[in-house]
């Protein structure tokens, strides 16, 4: 267990949320480059809100942020610490409506950010949570869907198929070979006309010219380091997320995806 994972439950939740928001752009530098793929305005979706580092940043750009977080106490925290344009849905995003089993690591709280609908060796306890597909929320003007579901990313995408097909948002998806095969998500995004991009250093590279599997194999030891250690040594880069844009687009051209119309803030289905 990492230092942050040991200390987190002993600190006030609001402090942990603020620290995560401050450190995360060093841990995941794509978050510092939101302007490359998330235009101002519109609706941004954060699947797997955790302590809210993406939600907080997205709230600076989007008119509306919809965050899905299935861990009950984290969903309550996010609702209490985020700006008014953030709407928190206390549910897991997947490809069906109802209830699902959320698997948790030892301790049963889900603070470490590795909870998942897909059970892995590190999961020892479980809790039943509401679940729904993103399409059920009937969101308008969606510019970005960020997905960190610890192995359940394909189910999230399937549940957002109508939104993706008709609104063509940018997709920022966690992909790790140590958790899941890459091919299913890559095949799905390609079928919907998307091309992948990665940010191994300071320049976006097309995924088809970057061997993500080999990179993760070489740097898998970095993945075992916690948020704090990786934030303090950002040069030790472990790329574990892919930005997918509609074919023909590329990061750094936000004007092509600008959203100018007003986005209503009505109640969400399933809240």
Phi, psi of 66 (to 5 degrees): -110, 120
pLDDT per residue of the chain (271 residues) written in tens, 0 to 9: 443 455 556 667 777 777 777 777 777 899 999 999 999 999 999 999 998 999 999 999 999 999 999 999 899 999 999 999 999 999 999 999 999 998 888 776 666 677 878 777 778 788 899 999 999 999 999 999 999 998 899 999 999 999 999 999 999 999 999 888 999 999 999 999 999 999 998 999 999 999 999 999 998 877 665 555 555 555 568 899 999 999 999 999 754 444 544 444 555 644 4
pTM, to two decimals: 0.85
128-159 burial, b for 16+ CB within 10 Å, e for fewer? ebbbbbbbbbebbbbbbbbbbbbbbbbbbbbb
Element spanning 218, H or E: helix 212-223
Q: Which tokens sit at 139? A: 């969101």
Task: Tell which residue, 242, 238, 233, 241, has the closest CA to residue 223.
Answer: 238
Task: Tell which residue, 7, 113, 99, 110, has the closest CA to residue 54.
Answer: 113
CB 125 within 8 Å of CB 109: no
* Domains (range + CATH), the chain: 3-92+136-247 (3.40.50.150)
pLDDT of residue 184: 96
pLDDT of residue 209: 96
Task: Tell which residue, 154, 158, 162, 67, has the closest CA to residue 117.
Answer: 154
């Amino acid at each position: 267990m990492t230092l942050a994972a040991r200390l987190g439950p002993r600190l006030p939740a609001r402090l942990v949320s603020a620290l995560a928001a401050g450190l995360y752009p060093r841990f995941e530098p794509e978050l510092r480059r939101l302007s490359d793929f998330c235009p101002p305005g519109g609706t941004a979706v954060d699947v797997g809100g955790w302590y809210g580092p993406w939600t907080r940043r997205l709230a600076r750009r989007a008119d509306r942020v919809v965050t899905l977080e299935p861990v009950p106490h984290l969903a309550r925290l996010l609702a209490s610490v985020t700006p008014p344009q953030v709407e928190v849905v206390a549910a897991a995003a997947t490809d069906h409506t109802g209830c699902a089993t959320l698997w948790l690591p030892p301790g049963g709280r889900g603070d470490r950010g590795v909870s998942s609908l897909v059970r892995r060796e590190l999961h020892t306890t479980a809790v039943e949570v509401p679940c729904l597909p993103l399409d059920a929320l009937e969101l308008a003007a969606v510019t970005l869907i960020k997905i960190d579901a610890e192995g359940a990313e394909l189910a999230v995408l399937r549940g957002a198929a109508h939104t993706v097909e008709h609104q063509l948002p940018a997709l920022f998806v966690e992909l790790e070979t140590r958790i899941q095969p890459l091919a299913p998500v890559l095949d799905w995004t390609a079928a919907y006309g998307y091309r992948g991009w990665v940010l191994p250093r300071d320049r976006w590279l097309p995924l088809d010219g970057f061997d993500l599997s080999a990179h993760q194999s070489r740097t898998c030891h970095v993945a075992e380091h916690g948020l704090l250690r990786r934030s303090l040594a950002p040069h030790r880069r472990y790329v574990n997320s892919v930005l997918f844009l509609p074919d023909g687009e590329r990061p750094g051209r936000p004007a092509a995806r600008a959203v100018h119309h007003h986005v209503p803030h009505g109640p969400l289905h399933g809240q």
